């Protein structure tokens, strides 16, 4: 897969990725929980949440893979080619976000690991979230900043997933059926998506905004909700459409692209400038 575009515009996007952009109206879109908002207002210092990334430095030319597991909490991945190295922030989310003592206790109890290593093909950034006490049940919010992206694999629950500027194979699974709810998933990228792509959540909306040159064999579905396909500018073939399901081939693509939520809406959009349509995020900058 190609490297995320390294242009002045993309550099600006990366630096501004934490800012709010044009609001996209989507029924049940990602929203900041009260305890998350309160926690951020009490603890604005980013350095307090920075996790040391062990291993080789990841450069903008590395086409690094991202491998994240967060059993309980939201995940955000931002690709910014202007970065010199990868960075990881981990924020505990106490039930009462305004409780400074509890927030500090949880911060000291964090056991989040971030490791960069080289496999047979490329650099990989591996992030795992946990507390020292396995009985601790407060959520953890992970934010990963990385200068390049050659693929993403994320497993999480009880929190949403936001992907900005990613490329390569994308595989996200949010929630554990019958155990822990998933969250909404948003993918916004200027890099054409050609698959393989797998986005699945047990509960939450899925919103994809990508260039009109993207391609793939799409299977899009929801068990409780509706599917919206806004594919202006793309060549569509072999399509079948229903309120809760859409299948078809986009731009003669050959890789399977599966998008599925069990409870929520799905919207897939092709636009000329995807980053301009970036939704307002419910996560901290």
Cis (ω within 30 of 0) for the bond into 2?
A: no
What local confidence, expressed as pLDDT, does residue 80 receive? Answer: 92
What's the mean pLDDT in 14-40? 42
Q: Is the residue at 285 inside a domain?
A: no
Q: Is the pLDDT of residue 2 over 50?
A: no
CA dist 67 and 169 (Å) reads 12
In angstroms, the Cα distances linking 255 to 2, 26, 154, 188 are 15, 27, 19, 19
Q: Do 211 and 271 touch, CB atoms closer than 8 A?
A: yes
Which pair of tokens denotes residue 266? 């799905």
As a whole number of angstroms, the distance between CA 133 and CA 155 comes to: 21
Rounded to the nearest 5°, which phi and psi values hold at 129?
-105, 145
Query: pLDDT value at position 97?
Result: 66
Q: What sections of 89-161 are H helices per DSSP?
A: 100-109
Distance from C-alpha of 150 to C-alpha of 208, rounded to nearest angstrom: 18
Strand pairing class (266-271; 206-211): parallel
Name the token pair of 261: 């939520």
Specify which residues 187 forms β-bridges with. Answer: 163, 208
Mean pLDDT lowest among 8-22, 68-82, 87-101, 241-255: 8-22
In a domain, 206, yes or no: yes
- Distance in angstroms (rounded) separating the CA atoms of residues 251 and 272: 15
273 in a structural domain: yes
Best mean pLDDT range from 12-16, 45-49, 158-162, 277-281:
158-162
Residue 46, pLDDT > 80, answer no
Does residue 284 belong to any structural domain of this protein?
A: no
CA of residue 109 relative to chain centroid, distance: 25
Residue 211 bridge partners (DSSP): 271
Question: Band of the pLDDT at 121, cuts 50, 70, 90?
Answer: confident
Residue 2 lies in a domain: no
With the CA atoms of 177, 217, 190 and 68 taken in that order, what torsion angle do they form, in degrees rounded to the nearest 10? 30
CB 132 within 8 A of CB 141: no
The three-state secondary structure class of 11 is helix
Using DSSP's 3-state secondary structure scheme, residue 132 falls into coil
Contact 248, 240 (CB under 8 A): yes
Does residue 113 form part of some domain? yes
DSSP string, 72-135: SS-EEEEE-TT-SS-EEEEEEE-SSTT-HHHHHHHHHHB--EEEEEE-SSSEEEEEE--BSSTT
Domain count, the chain: 1
- Taking phi over 0 as left and psi of -120 to 50 as alpha, with beta for the rest, 37 belongs to alpha
Residue 62: inside a domain: yes
- Taking each helix axis from N to C end, the angle separating 100-109 and 34-42, rounded to the nearest 10 degrees, works out to 90
Which has the closest alpha carbon to 81: 61, 55, 54? 61
When pLDDT is averaged across residues 220-235 and rounded to a whole number, the result is: 94
Which domain does 39 fall in, by range?
A: 8-277
User: Residue 199 domain-assigned?
Assistant: yes
The band of 52, judged by pLDDT with boundaries at 50, 70 and 90, is very high
pLDDT per residue over 235-270, tens digit each? 999 999 999 999 999 999 999 999 999 999 999 999
Q: Report the helix count and the strand count for the chain, using DSSP H and E.
A: 3, 20
Mean pLDDT of 37-51: 59
Residue 183 is predicted with a pLDDT of 96
């Amino acid at each position: 897969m190609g490297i995320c575009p390294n242009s002045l515009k993309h550099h600006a996007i990366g630096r501004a990725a934490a800012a709010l952009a044009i609001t996209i109206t989507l029924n049940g879109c990602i929203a900041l929980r009260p305890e998350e908002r309160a926690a951020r207002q009490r603890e604005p210092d980013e350095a307090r949440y920075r996790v040391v990334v062990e291993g080789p430095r990841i450069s903008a030319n590395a086409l690094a893979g991202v491998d994240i597991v967060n059993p309980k909490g939201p995940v955000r991945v931002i690709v910014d080619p202007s970065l010199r190295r990868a960075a990881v922030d981990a924020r505990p989310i106490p039930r009462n976000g305004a409780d400074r003592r509890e927030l500090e206790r949880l911060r000291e109890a964090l056991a989040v690991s971030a490791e960069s290593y080289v496999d047979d093909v490329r650099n990989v950034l591996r992030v795992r979230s946990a507390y020292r006490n396995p009985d601790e049940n407060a959520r953890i919010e992970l934010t990963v900043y990385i200068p390049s992206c050659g693929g993403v694999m994320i497993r999480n629950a009880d929190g949403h997933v936001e992907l900005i500027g990613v490329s390569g194979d994308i595989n996200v699974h949010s929630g554990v059926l019958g155990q822990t709810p998933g969250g909404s998933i948003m993918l916004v990228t200027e890099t054409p998506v050609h698959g393989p792509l797998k986005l699945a959540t047990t509960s939450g909306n899925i919103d994809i905004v990508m260039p009109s040159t993207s391609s793939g064999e799409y299977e899009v579905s929801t068990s409780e909700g509706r599917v919206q396909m806004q594919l202006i500018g793309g060549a569509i073939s072999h399509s079948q459409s229903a309120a809760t399901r859409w299948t078809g081939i986009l731009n003669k693509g050959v890789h399977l692209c599966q998008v599925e939520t069990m409870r929520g809406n799905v919207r897939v959009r092709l636009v000329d400038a995807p980053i301009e349509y970036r939704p307002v995020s419910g996560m901290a900058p």
